[in-house]
Amino acid sequence: MALFVKICGICSKHDLEQISALNPSAMGFVFWEKSKRAVDPKTVGMWQTPACIKRVGVFVNPTKDELHAVVKAARLDVIQLHKIPSHWTIDRNLFPSIEIWKAGTFEEIRSQSFDFDRFLIDSYDPKTVGGTGKTCDWNEAKQAVTTLKKPLLLAGGLTPQNVEQAIQTVHPNGVDVSSGVEISPGKKDLKKVAAFLTAARAAK
């Protein structure tokens, strides 16, 4: 199976169109107002993406009503959750055909009781979520891959220069990048995105 590659923190229609042409597995949009990469759900909903690219919404401890509204407005395929309580749960019937992912450290992920579709292991930062540019503990991530019974994406400080080594060390089901392919927060460098995709797909 081909490695799953997500390009996160898309903030403009221009970047979306340019990156869509490179055919990543998924593209992520941040719906947390404190983020430098926050975008408006209705604006995202007007942007078109190929059917083969998953549209992932990134949330920080959202309410059920917030999720419902944003999923509809932004036309999402995936809900990615950060900093939720360990007892978090939701009725899946409210989100038919929507994948639900949990992102965080290994400790945060394995404490969850909800049956998530996929996990994303990331570096820890008390002030923000994702896009920190900090690598997570790859040895811990490797342990997570062998311990968890769901597909796992590796995130945190990945770049075109280190993603191949990261994949060879951790053996995740996929990788996620944001700041590692940017010119500045929210503005992607297309050459870096292309280089990241090439390196990730070449890793074995």
122 is catalytic: yes
Q: How far apart are CA 77 and CA 62, in angstroms?
A: 17
Among candidate residues 186, 123, 192, the one with its CA nearest the CA of residue 161:
192
Report CA 142 to chain centroid distance, whole Å: 18
Neighbouring C-alpha atoms within 13 Å toward the C-beta of 114: 21
The catalytic position among 11, 15, 77, 122 is: 122
Q: How far apart are CA 166 and CA 155, in angstroms?
A: 10
Q: What amino acid is encoded at 85 in this protein?
A: P
The catalytic position among 8, 11, 15, 136 is: 8
Please report which residue ranges of the chain form alpha helices under DSSP H. 13-20, 41-46, 64-74, 106-110, 138-147, 163-170, 190-202
Q: How far apart are CA 204 and CA 200, in angstroms?
A: 9
**Residue 164 region by backbone torsions, left for phi larger than 0, else alpha for psi between -120 and 50, else beta:** alpha
Neighbouring C-alpha atoms within 13 Å toward the C-beta of 79: 26
Catalytic residues: 8, 122
